[in-house]
Structure 1
Amino acid sequence: MPERNIEFGKYGARGVKGHEAVARQLDALASFIATSITARRGLLARLHYLTRTEHARQAAREVGLTVTDRTLKAWLDGRRSPSKKNLERIETAYRTVRRHNVARYLLARLNREGRGTRVEFHPLNQSQVDRPRQRVVTYRTLNVRHWDRIVEAWANDDEAALDDAWISDAVVDLGSEWGQYEYVTNIGFAA
C-alpha cells in the first residue's frame, strides 16, 4: 500500500502502530482478570474460568494447556503449584478463550446495528524531531462502521491480519492523509 512508513522513528518520532493501540483498547474492553497469575487468587480465577464448561476446557486444550484432570484438581485444591511454563500456558489459554468468548459481544457493541463507533486518532509524538522535518499531523476522529475483520483478527491474536484489517477497514477512510496515522500515540473509542 502507498504511504506505509518504512523507516518510522528515523528522525525521532515516537508512537505505536495503530493496530497495536486498537488491540490494547479491545483488551481493555474485554476486561481481563486484573489480579496477577502469580497470586493465588489470580491463578484460581483463571483456572475456574478455563474449567467451568466443557467448551472452555476444549478451547484451553487447543491452545496448549494439556494437563491431566488430576493435576488440574491439585492446582485448584492448592496441593501443587504450576511451573513457570504452565503459568504462561494458563495465561495464554485464558486470554485466548476470553477473547473468543467476548468477540461476538464486542462486535455487536462496536458495530451498533450499522451506526458504528467513533474512533479518535491521537497523532504521533514529534517532540524529538527537528523542526524542518516535523509534519503537520492533527487529532482526527472517524466513525468506523465495519469492525468484523478487526475483531476477528484480534480474537485470533493474528497481528498481521489485524494490521491489514485496521488499515483497509478504518484508516484509509481518513482520506489521502491516512499514512500519517499508521503510527499514533493512542487510539481511543468508547463502545
Structure 2
Amino acid sequence: MAGRWNNFGFYGARGVPGWVALGREMDRQVTGIKSPVDSARGLAARLRYLTRSPAGMESMRRAGITARQRTIDAWVEKKQKPRRANLQKIDAAYWDLRRRNLGVEWARRLAERGTRIEIHPVDQSQVQAQNPTRVRDIPVRRMTVRGHRIWDDIIQAWIDEDGEMLDIAWDEIITDIGSDYDAYSHVASIGFGI
C-alpha cells in the first residue's frame, strides 16, 4: 500500500496520505443546495430532490429516516416540520444521494476520457528550516489517469467511504510515476477536474 514512508513527519514534512487527499478533492467538488436544512427553502429543496426517485427514498432509509410515507408527504407539502433529528438525517440523505448521483456521472465521463491529476508533494518547509540535508527533491507531478476500472474503483470507494480501497486505488495511480512513486504516498494536495 501507499504510505511506506518510515516515520513520516519525523523531520518536519507535512502532508496527508494520497488517498485522503484524493477523497478530499472529490468531496470538494460535490456541490449542492446552499440553504441550510433548517430553513424553509433548504428543507423544501432537499425533500424535492430526495422524494422524486426510489434512489432518494433509499438514501433516506440509509440515513435512518423511519417516518411513514404519509409523514414524509406532510413534510413535502409543508403541513408538518420534521424534528431536529430528522432534519439532520434529511441533510445526510441529501448529501449521500448527491455523492451517488455525481459518482455515476463522474464514472461515465472519467472512463471515457480520463482526467489530468496534479499532485503536490509534501510541504518540506519545516524540514528545510530544521535539517536542510533531509530535504528531498520532489516535483509537482501532472499525469492523466485513464481506465474504466480504476475510476470505477475510486468512485465506489469514495461513495462507500472505504479508505482501504481508496488507498489501493491511489497506489495504482502512483505506481505509474515510476521508481520514485513512493515519494507521493503522502502529499500536500491533489487537484483535478471532472
Give SS of 2:19's match: helix
Alpha-carbon contact 1:46-1:94 (below 8 Å) kept = yes
Identity %: 41
**Is the 1:96–1:156 contact (alpha carbons within 8 Å) kept by the matching residues of 2?**
no
Task: Give the ranges of 4+ consecutive aligned residues of structure 1 lying more than 6 Å apart after TM superposition.
Answer: none
TM-score (norm 1): 0.84
**Secondary structure in structure 2 of the residue aligned to 1:150:** helix
Alignment of 1:144 onto 2:163: no
Q: How large is the Cα RMSD of the aligned pairs?
A: 2.3
Matches within 5 A, 1:170-185: 170-185=173-188
| Mean CA deviation greater in 23-32 or 45-54 | 23-32
Q: Which runs of 5+ in 2 are unaligned?
A: none
Distance 1:2 1:40 in 2: 45
Which residue type is aligned with residue 161 of structure 1? M
1:21-36 paired onto structure 2 within 5 Å: 21-36=21-36
Structure 1 equivalent of residue 191 of structure 2: 188
Instruction: Tell me which amino acid in the other structure corresponds to 1:124.
Output: V
Distance 2:93 2:52 in 1: 14
1:159 paired residue number:
163
Gaps of at least 5 residues in structure 1 are none
Per the TM alignment, residue 26 of structure 1 is displaced from its structure 2 partner at its CA by 2.1
User: How does 1:48-127 map onto structure 2 within 5 Å?
Assistant: 48-76=48-76, 77=78, 79-83=80-84, 85-111=85-111, 113=112, 115-127=113-125
Q: Number of residue pairs matched?
A: 187
Equivalent-residue separation in structure 1 for 2:107 and 2:11 (angstroms): 38
1:106 positional shift: 0.2
Distance 1:55 1:89 in 2: 15
- Provide the C-alpha distance between the structure 2 equivalents of 1:185 and 1:127, rounded to a whole number of angstroms: 12
